[in-house]
Amino acid sequence: MRNRRIMLVLFGLACLITCPGWAQTANDKYLDLSRKDLRKEKQSIVDRSMGLDAADKSQFWAIYADYQTALDAIWDQRITNINKYAENFDKMTDEIANQLAVKMMDLEGQRSALRNKYYQLYKQKMGSRIAARFLQVEYSLACLIDLQLAAEIPILQ
C-alpha cells in the first residue's frame, strides 16, 4: 500500500512537470496549489523514509527547507527546458537540439552538485549515516521522477 501511494504521488508529480501544454493553460493559482500538495506528499515520503527522532527532525527539516528551495529553482529551469522542447518538437533544428541538450546536462550537474552540497552539510551537522540516508532518499526519488519523465517525453526524431 505504501509503495502504491508513493508511486501515485510520483506519477502525479511527473504529470505536473511533464504536461507543458496543460501547465501553460491552467489557472496559475490551481497549478501553485497542485505543486504545494505534491511537495507536501514528497515531504511526507522523505519524513517516513528518514525515520528520524523528534530531536533530529527539527534540525533536518530546517536544512531541508533550504535544499528544497534550491531544488525548486533547478526544477523551474528544467520545466522551462521541457516546454522549449515541446514548443520546438515539430520544428527542431540542430542548434535548438544542442541548446536543449547542453541545458539538460547543465541542470543534471546542478542537481548533483546540490545533493553533494547538502550531503556535506548534513554530514557536518548530523553525521554521515543521516547524510547518507538523505542522499539515498533524494537520489531514489529523483530517479523515479526522471524515469517517469523519460517515459512521458517523446524521443526526438
Domain boundaries, the chain: 2-152
Residue-wise pLDDT tens digits, 115-127: 999 999 999 999 9
Share the mean pLDDT of the chain.
Answer: 84
Q: How far, in Å, CA of 5 to CA of 19, rounded? A: 21
Ranges under pLDDT 70 in the chain: 1-37
Backbone angle region of 51, left / alpha / beta, with phi > 0 → left and psi within -120 to 50 → alpha: left
The predicted pLDDT at position 36 comes to 66
The predicted pLDDT at position 24 comes to 45
Which set of grid coordinates corresponds to residue 146?
526522471
Which pTM does this prediction carry? 0.77
The predicted pLDDT at position 5 comes to 44
